[in-house]
Structure formats: structure tokens, C-alpha cells
Amino acid sequence: MALPNPNRYITDNDDDGTIELTLSNGEQRIIKPGDITIQRSTLHKWRNPSTTEWSRMIVVMTECQPVVTKNGGALGVSFPPH
């Protein structure tokens, strides 16, 4: 099959379910299949809001420069205990 644009492609994706993203200020977003979020040093949590359906997500992490606060301190990585 000849594609009309050789820079594009077709895939069989299995995007399914929703994910709830909550930020430290309480702001929430529902992430649906095909959505993208970009965060840089944000305190956050992920949750599957469904009690009956699975959710899947792919996370890509890349290195970035530390975020510097107004008082000149740098934020570090934080993984609170579960």
C-alpha cells in the first residue's frame, strides 16, 4: 500500500483506559488514550479512576536541568514512601 505521505505511518495501537493526574495544588486532569502530558519537576500522582477497567500508559523520562526556586534552591528528585 502506497502511503500518501512517506513521513507518516499506520500502527495498530492498543490505547485503552483513562488515567487521573493530580498535581500538588490539587489540580486534576483525566488523561485519555492518545493524550500527552509533559511535566518538568512537578509533584504529582497517577491513579486509575476506574474500579473495573485496566489502564495502560507509557512514560518516557529524559534528563533536564534542575528547577531553581525563587530563593535560589534547586528542587531534587522526591519519591515518597508508599
The verdict on residue 36 lying in a domain is yes
3 vs 75, higher pLDDT:
75
The verdict on residue 81 lying in a domain is no
Residue pair 54/16 in contact by the 8 Å Cβ criterion: yes
Average pLDDT score over residue span 57-68: 81
The verdict on residue 32 lying in a domain is yes
The verdict on residue 27 lying in a domain is yes
The verdict on residue 2 lying in a domain is no
The verdict on residue 3 lying in a domain is no
Pick from 66, 44, 70: which is nearest to 57 by CA? 44
Confidence of residue 78 (pLDDT cuts 50, 70, 90): low
Range of the domain at 22: 14-74
The verdict on residue 7 lying in a domain is no
The verdict on residue 8 lying in a domain is no
Confidence of residue 11 (pLDDT cuts 50, 70, 90): low
pTM for this model (two decimals): 0.63
